[in-house]
Structure 1
């Protein structure tokens, strides 16, 4: 079977890479990416996932939320309510195009966005890769990255409390080449979406990661937690991928 090629779309300024399902009216999964450089480093794995899903009869719509990637806007456009609107617009586009929304999946901070939009979009399933399910966990991770980067350069590491104070004072910070605005940091502090009770949730964790920001989810009845033997490809330079994770995720969506 010859698969239709992936193609880029602009949905009112929001870029999405669409891996169409091979059949007319086939179902599609919407993918929501991590924040900052993690988004770019995960692109190869997500592209390979899109091809694998298409081979299994399922489409994938991979979003760049506004102010990130190839979408319109600079870092000042990175606001959580705006990103929620972007996801809703993607779901509406799928409906208009005749593709049922099979569910949402997200990596890292994208997992929190998937959780936050599950009920508004009546998602049938959530698949979460190494999720950060609270904005505070994402914020702490970013500040830790900045501290580590300065130490590696032999510079004095500024305490996290000092960095947090600068954000609270309205100052933007550059972290790993990406700008964390004070406004988006404020959004993150308030972010703690509850897990939906209306759909199954499958959570994949790397055996190398501690599961930061996802504590307690195993206690939820609708959550299945699985481990995958892969490096943290979203943090590694080069063409890293996670073939086993991709295969297991594809199989999971195929039985949705």
Structure 2
């Protein structure tokens, strides 16, 4: 693993872009050094959302990363293989390689921070975070799960269903070639069969995650709020198997799926509070 010599190990009050050189290519990273030494030993690895949701979440993720850095907590954002400005196309994306990307990112942080390492995962990143902990025995202090996806098969089905609905509104919606393509393309992103298969086979509702605390951030239209039955079931299951889960419902817009890019101040505040021990 090689890091471009861009002063990425120097504490500075602004984000530092660099490329992490791995065997499978370059990964674009954005390192947000802590603005003060008060909690500079703590660091957070961000695991981004999937496909178009990643783009919708990008502004919110950038704002939260900067907010945490200003609070004295360093953050590393990494574009996984085939995503953002990293090597490859989305069709090259591979679940196993994504895990290796995250392990390399963790190594980068551990080389620079002696204190606590936290995870922050958006949407489908929840499944990546869970596997990172359960399969690779990653030692994590706190985990922040933002609007988490718990079932890969259900998630892919929902994305494909939305694409089918759009295709039906298209004059070519009945074209056999288009219908066939729905199995390998979601919202303009071409997926390999291997990646689809890997995601479909992931579900973490019964997983015990080794962490001091798991924080679940759920954005709702209004407060007070109750979880939908399926998500309440996951919450109850996690409690039963001993996961130290804490639910935070915040009022705001579902920025990961809105037509226009938007942000939520309540979401930012709730997420920041998790890592500043104010949650």
* SS of corresponding position for 1:218: helix
Structure 1 residues 144-163: Cα deviation after superposition (integer angstroms, max 9, x where no partner) = 221122234355479xxx96
Give the drift of 1:101.
4.7
**Aligned counterpart, 1:227:** 249
Equivalent residue in structure 1 for 2:93, among 59, 78, 82: 78
Distance in 2, matches of 1:180 and 1:213, equals: 27
Task: Tell me, yes or no, if structure 1 residue 8 matches structure 2 residue 45.
Answer: no
**Aligned counterpart, 1:34:** 49
Range with bigger deviation, 214-223 or 55-64:
214-223
Distance in 1, matches of 2:41 and 2:30, equals: 16
Give the conservation status (yes or no) of the 8 Å contact 2:36–2:70.
no
Give the conservation status (yes or no) of the 8 Å contact 1:217–1:223.
no
Give the conservation status (yes or no) of the 8 Å contact 1:205–1:211.
no
Task: Tell me, yes or no, if structure 1 residue 176 matches structure 2 residue 187.
Answer: yes
Q: 1:43 to 1:138 in 2, by over 3 A?
A: same
Give the conservation status (yes or no) of the 8 Å contact 2:119–2:143.
yes
Flag the structure with more relative contact order, 1 or 2, with Cα contacts below 8 A and sequence separation at least 6: 1
**Aligned counterpart, 1:188:** 199
Structure 1 residues 96-144: Cα deviation after superposition (integer angstroms, max 9, x where no partner) = 2235452111111011111221342111111101111221122112212
Distance in 1, matches of 2:230 and 2:14, equals: 36
Displaced runs of 4+ in structure 1, greater than 4 A? Answer: 208-215
Structure 1 residues 169-203: Cα deviation after superposition (integer angstroms, max 9, x where no partner) = xx962221211221111111221242414431111
Task: Tell me, yes or no, if structure 1 residue 202 matches structure 2 residue 215.
Answer: yes
Distance in 2, matches of 1:254 and 1:75, equals: 35
Structure 1 residues 189-239: Cα deviation after superposition (integer angstroms, max 9, x where no partner) = 221242414431111112149769745232223111221111110112434
Give 1 or 2 for the bigger CA radius of gyration: 2
Task: Tell me, yes or no, if structure 1 residue 123 matches structure 2 residue 140.
Answer: yes
Give the conservation status (yes or no) of the 8 Å contact 1:91–1:101.
no
* SS of corresponding position for 2:117: strand
Distance in 2, matches of 1:53 and 1:212, equals: 33
- TM-score by length of structure 2 reads 0.79
* Runs of 5+ unmatched residues, structure 1: none
Equivalent residue in structure 2 for 1:218, among 201, 218, 235: 235
Give the conservation status (yes or no) of the 8 Å contact 1:202–1:225.
yes
Q: 1:3 to 1:246 in 2, by over 3 A?
A: farther
Give the conservation status (yes or no) of the 8 Å contact 1:22–1:54.
yes
Give the conservation status (yes or no) of the 8 Å contact 2:91–2:191.
no
- TM-score by length of structure 1 reads 0.86
Distance in 1, matches of 2:28 and 2:87, equals: 8
Give the conservation status (yes or no) of the 8 Å contact 2:140–2:210.
no
